[in-house]
């Protein structure tokens, strides 16, 4: 069972990029299954910062094959830019494969995403404006253009011209996309076939999730969600293999919570503690630069994520960010319409009405960025991690105590 699924257990930005980068050292293939350049994964290697949006974070390991899977939506301009940016820094990008079945983000998707958001006035979703929703809408309506169209110039031009309503500058768009096609052609592949070949050869596949469980189109806080399936199940549809290959489902969770964009967030802190989390945690989006909303860890929401994904272990990130706090709170239940509830309501309105009930933990108030084993953590930090293992009923094998690759406790 050589596949591992890495999934965001909160609202995205859990630090999946760093954990993927770590696990990729032991993987043969790293594959992304959904989303597009709305994602932003930051990896810091020996002080050098890499911000990746489309290409899996595994690309920083020279022997790892990287797959952009069928469930993704690809902005080719971005992909070309990202490939170039990595190549300039000496990264071999010939190992990057993009599925011919993934869908192309077209300029009209981006224009529509931004126009729809503007039209929503005060009721914005807070999308990244990258055309993600409209591209997935076209895919579901069966009028999208797939990456495979880039293998044939005539087919690509015909597909762009056939767009209905016709884009006013479709010939200019076609010219631009033909250029991208030339560059991307060597990377386009039947990635389902490729993955099955690797699985048959006993290779280890690391499936890298984007966004997070609570942004899932079906299982998140609809309509304040993205338009793909960031939950573990999305890996099967987005990559084209079945659950029998999966050994571990690793949920990545921050030691606190953040959310970017609109939508309910029961443990949000709008006070100085919230500001401190944003400031110490550097909580600004990799993709849009937007300030993230921050709050305490929400165990109710995380229990939901455990179930929806079938998480077998947790990786906890940014534990060091809590070091400056005298007290740490964790939401263990909600109060909703006079009742105490332990299960997260998925209806956005109901969730917005939930008031958190907290359990308080003493802070450790010391620098933990040098800890490399659990025993080197202060007792109070160890208790926090043990409480999480107990509460969620799974082990925690990875704890991140700083942004650098080596600022990690692994057992």
183 binds ligand IMP (CB under 6 A): no
Query: Quick one: 298 or 377, whose CB is closer to ligand IMP?
Result: 298
Beta bridge partners of 72: 35
Q: Characterize 3-27 residue by residue with b for buried, 16 or more Cβ atoms within 10 angstroms of its Cβ, and e for exposed.
A: bbbbbbbbbbbbbbbbbbbbbbeeb
Let me know the angle formed at the C-alpha of 362 by 358 and 366, rounded to the nearest 5 degrees: 135
Q: CB of 128: closest distance to ligand IMP in angstroms?
A: 3
Distance CA 238, CA 34 (A): 6
Query: Quick one: 17 or 148, whose CB is closer to ligand IMP?
Result: 17
39 binds ligand IMP (CB under 6 A): yes
132 binds ligand IMP (CB under 6 A): yes
12 binds ligand IMP (CB under 6 A): yes
Instruction: List the x/- string, 253-272, binding to ligand IMP by CB under 6 A.
Output: -------xx-----------
Distance CA 332, CA 403 (A): 28
Q: CB of 212: closest distance to ligand IMP in angstroms?
A: 7
210 binds ligand IMP (CB under 6 A): yes
Distance CA 120, CA 123 (A): 5
125 binds ligand IMP (CB under 6 A): yes
Within 13 A of 143's CA, how many CA atoms are on the CB side? 13
Q: CB of 41: closest distance to ligand IMP in angstroms?
A: 8
> Is the separation of the CB atoms in 267 and 257 below 8 Å?
yes
Q: CB of 39: closest distance to ligand IMP in angstroms?
A: 4
Q: For ligand IMP, which stretch binds (CB under 6 A), given 58-66, 68-76, 124-132, 152-160? A: 124-132
The dihedral region occupied by 13, where left means phi > 0, alpha psi between -120 and 50, and beta the remainder, is left
CB neighbours of residue 156 within 10 Å = 20
Query: Quick one: 2 or 144, whose CB is closer to ligand IMP?
Result: 144
Q: For ligand IMP, which stretch binds (CB under 6 A), given 95-103, 207-215, 248-256, 324-332? A: 207-215
Phi/psi for 299 (5° steps) reads: -70, -25
Nearest CA-CA partner of 11 in 210, 211, 307, 308: 211
Instruction: List the x/- string, 288-327, binding to ligand IMP by CB under 6 A.
Output: ----------------------------------------
Q: CB of 239: closest distance to ligand IMP in angstroms?
A: 18
Query: How deeply is 363 buried, as exposed, middle or buried, from its count of CB atoms within 10 A (0-12, 13-18, 19+)?
Result: middle
Cβ-closest residue to ligand IMP?
261
Distance CA 231, CA 248 (A): 14
130 binds ligand IMP (CB under 6 A): yes
Beta bridge partners of 303: none
Q: Which residues are catalytic?
A: 13, 41
Site for ligand IMP in 360-389 (CB under 6 A): none
Residue ranges binding ligand IMP (CB under 6 A): 12-13, 38-40, 125-128, 130, 132-133, 210-211, 215, 224, 226-227, 260-261
């Amino acid at each position: 069972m050589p596949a591992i699924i890495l999934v965001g257990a909160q609202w995205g930005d859990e630090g999946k990029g760093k954990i993927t980068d770590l696990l990729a050292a032991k993987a043969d293939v790293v594959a992304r299954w959904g989303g597009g350049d709305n994602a932003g994964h930051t990896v810091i290697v020996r002080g050098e910062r890499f911000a990746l949006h489309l290409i899996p974070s595994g690309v920083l390991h020279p022997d790892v094959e990287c797959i952009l899977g069928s469930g993704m939506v690809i902005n080719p301009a971005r992909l070309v830019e990202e490939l170039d940016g990595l190549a300039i820094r000496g990264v071999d990008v010939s190992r990057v494969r993009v599925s011919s079945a993934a869908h192309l983000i077209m300029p009209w998707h981006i224009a529509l995403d931004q126009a729809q958001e503007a039209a929503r006035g005060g009721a914005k979703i807070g999308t990244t404006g990258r055309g993600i929703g409209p591209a997935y809408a076209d895919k579901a309506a069966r009028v999208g253009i797939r990456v495979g169209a880039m293998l044939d110039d005539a087919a690509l031009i015909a597909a762009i011209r056939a767009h209905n309503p016709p884009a006013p500058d479709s010939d200019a768009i076609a010219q631009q996309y033909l250029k991208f096609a030339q560059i991307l052609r060597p990377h386009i592949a039947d990635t389902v076939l490729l993955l099955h070949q690797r699985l048959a050869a006993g290779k280890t596949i690391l499936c890298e999730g984007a966004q997070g469980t609570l942004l899932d189109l079906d299982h998140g806080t609809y309509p304040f969600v993205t338009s793909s399936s960031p939950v573990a199940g999305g890996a099967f549809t987005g990559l084209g293999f079945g659950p029998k290959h999966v050994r571990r489902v690793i949920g990545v969770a921050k030691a606190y919570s953040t959310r970017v964009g609109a939508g309910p967030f029961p443990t949000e802190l709008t006070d100085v503690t919230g500001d401190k989390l944003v400031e110490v945690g550097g909580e600004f989006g990799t993709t849009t630069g937007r300030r993230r909303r921050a709050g305490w860890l929400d165990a109710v929401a995380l229990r939901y994520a455990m179930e929806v994904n079938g998480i077998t272990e947790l990786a906890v990130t940014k534990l060091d960010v809590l070091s400056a706090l005298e007290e740490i709170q964790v939401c263990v239940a909600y109060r909703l319409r006079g009742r105490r509830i332990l299960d997260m309501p998925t209806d956005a309105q109901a969730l917005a009405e939930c008031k958190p009930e907290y359990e308080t933990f003493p802070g450790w108030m010391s620098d933990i960025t040098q800890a490399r084993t659990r025993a080197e953590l202060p007792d109070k930090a160890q208790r926090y991690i043990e409480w999480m293992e107990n509460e969620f009923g799974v082990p925690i094998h990875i704890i991140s105590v700083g942004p650098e690759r080596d600022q990690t406790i692994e057992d």
